[in-house]
Structure 1
Amino acid sequence: MTQIAFLGLGAMGIRMAQHLIDAGHAVTVWNRTESRAQPLLEQGAQWADTPAEAAQGAEFVIAMVRDDEASADVWLDEQTGAFKGMDEQAIAIESSTLSVDWIKTLAQHAHQRNVKFIEAPVSGSRPQAQHAELVYLVGGEASLFERAEPVLSLMGKKVNHTGGMGSGALAKLVTNTLMGIQVTTLGELVAMLKRQGEDPDKILEAVSTTPVWSKTAGIVRKSMVNEAYEPQFPVDLIEKDLGYCLQAANQVAPMTSAARTVFNEAQTQQLGEWNMTVVAKLYQ
């Protein structure tokens, strides 16, 4: 049995932590809103009032939060931050989707505190988290990756070591940018097919047999054609990730910028909490 702390029980985190409990590990959880933890507490997880308290005695401390600001608060707060409570041999694992600059800064803070640290963002949304089918993109020392891999494998189907610190964040931003551009493009094309009086589903079914089609396009097509926009990957999050990608590109990324503008418009129309495919409504 391994002692594991899990920080952040949003739509992804609560599903990921569940797998650690199911595997028989001793899991301590923290979240800004304690009520979110109740289903896990009923299954044997322990509650901690602060990230620092959760980290005490843990061999692995995993964070899954919204953005750079939340990450800084969880790890670095002088009174409650997880780094404050970690043992020397423990490994801090940051699984949030963050900017490259911040993940490197956070790694420097860890080094200054003699904390062992890796980044491990994931590709996948709620269904993949639910079924332990996430893909991990891990940056950091190979020796730490090897120690953490068995734990990460409980939550994902593939654990990739992408290289040094920052490479995981870059891999995740590349992944989400490719996805975001496909989503905005398919939204345009579905609307164009409707204006032409065609059945978008029939046309896209034919296109799906060609080499240009992707697995993501298939998921997006189904959502848009059926107008099923229940949150899986909300507009607000993909917009945030495209912003981080633009930072990494020094703003020299016109396609990324164009896609982000579409998601910005969705936010303006109060669609930020809906699934990213809701941008199809912008073209109707």
Structure 2
Amino acid sequence: MAERLARAGVDLTVWNRTRAKAEPLREQGAAVADTIAGLRDHDVVFTMLSTSEDLDHVLAELLGDSGEDRGPGVVVDCSTISPEASAAARRRCAERGTEFLAAPVSGNPKVVRAGGLSVVCSGPRETYDRVSGLLAHLGRSATYAGEGETARLVKIAHNLMLGVVTQTLAEVTVLAEKGGVPRHAFLSFLNDSVVGSPFTRYKSPAFVHLDYTPRFTPPLLRKDFDLGLAAARALDVPMPVTALTAQLVQASVGTGRVTEDFAILLDLQAAAAGLKLEPEAVPVDDGLSA
């Protein structure tokens, strides 16, 4: 995401807890800050963290701890966190005169590089309008979902769908293979059918080659299911399919394979069906190469 901003000619300074991850952006013309506080005087700061606790830590250093400190003009937070944690971050920013936009995203690094990132935003409309030009550089679309923390619920619901679809894809793929259909043939047909999608096509190489290079790990997916089911309880929405999938995601974490991609749901489904999977050496289009 930062690379896309830099290539668009945005005056960019970056910081990462692991500095080595930020250094390659120098080649795109970005400066690298030594500390988070080095971003404090910027017009807009994008943040992307794994948990609300990480966001709290970053905001504490970004905004300072003195009533005299002023934060950046706008913080655009792209993390996937709860609406409650987002509201707390918004209040903390307001205390330093900083506007706050909730802006979680859909798309892993390969999707971003292919220009397919989607952003959903919530907060004051004028704040969204202020940064919309930057959001346009990030990928395919930016959607304004309203005031407050509504974007967080949109992203949580999105990730519930991600998990449920992947579990379903694992189940039908195992069914087809145990009945004698090669995985690549079944997935090729499905992806070209009315029920195929950019996501099923994107996930197909992992399923065919059994390549579980991490894009999104089971513990991160479990966190989002916890957030989603908590929202469902608060809003009195029954989600039986989601609740069952949450147990299967928990089972994937319980295997200890927590550093692989959550596509390992395929392995767990195959094991439950008594099917031994082998990688298939067949080229598979992920829909992103172009």
TM-score after normalising by structure 2: 0.83
Equivalent-residue separation in structure 2 for 1:130 and 1:202 (angstroms): 28
Residue 270 of structure 1 is matched in structure 2 by 256
1:66 and 2:47 equivalent?
no
* Residue range with higher mean Cα deviation, 133-142 or 208-217: 208-217
Find the counterpart in structure 2 of residue 281 from structure 1. 267
Match of 2:277 in 1: none
Distance 1:205 1:25 in 2: 40
Deviation at 1:107, TM superposition (A): 1.5
Q: Please list the CA deviations of residues 207-247 of structure 1 after superposition, one character each: whole Å capped at 9, or x if unmatched.
A: 44543333222223342123122222222322222222122
Pair 1:149-2:132 in alignment: yes
1:260 and 2:246 matched: yes
Map of 1:177 onto structure 2: 160
Distance 1:155 1:86 in 2: 27
Match of 2:116 among 113, 120, 133: 133
- Tell me the equivalent position of 1:81: 62
Q: What count of residue pairs does the alignment treat as equivalent?
A: 264
Q: Secondary structure of the equivalent of 1:25? A: coil
Structure 1: which amino acid aligns with 2:54?
A
Tell me if structure 2 keeps the 8 A contact 1:31–1:37: yes
SS of the aligned residue for 1:132 comes to coil
Matches within 5 A, 1:185-264: 185-250=168-233, 252-264=238-250
SS of the residue corresponding to residue 278 of structure 1 reads helix
Change in CA separation of 1:43 and 1:192 when aligned onto 2, cut-off 3 Å = same
Distance 2:145 2:64 in 1: 24
Q: CA deviation at 1:260?
A: 2.2
* Alignment correspondent of 2:34: 49
Structure 1 residues 199, 27: closer, same or farther in 2, change over 3 A? same
Which amino acid in the other structure matches residue 46 of structure 1? Answer: A
Gaps of 5+ in 1: 1-15
**1:34 aligned onto 2:19:** yes
- State the AA in 1 paired with 2:153: L
- Uncovered stretches (5+) of structure 2, i.e. residues with no partner: 271-290
Contact 1:104 1:166 in 2 (8 A): yes
2:191·2:201 contact (CA, 8 Å) conserved in 1?
Answer: yes
Secondary structure of residue in 2 paired with 1:159: strand
User: How much does 1:83 deviate?
Assistant: 6.0
**Alpha-carbon distance in 2 for matches of 1:19, 1:236:** 28
Q: Identity over aligned residues, as a percent? A: 25
Task: Supply the distance in 1 between the matched residues of 2:43 and 2:251 (Cα, whole angstroms).
Answer: 44
Answer 1 or 2: which has greater strand percent: 1
Q: Secondary structure at the residue paired with 2:90?
A: helix
The amino acid of 1:93's aligned partner reads V
The 3-state SS of whatever aligns with 1:249 is helix
Could you say if the C-alpha distance between residues 237 and 117 of structure 1 is closer, same or farther in structure 2, counting changes exceeding 3 Å?
same
- RMSD of the TM alignment (CA)? 2.1
Q: Quote how far apart the aligned CAs of 1:100 are.
A: 1.6
Superposition TM-score, scaled by structure 1 size? 0.85
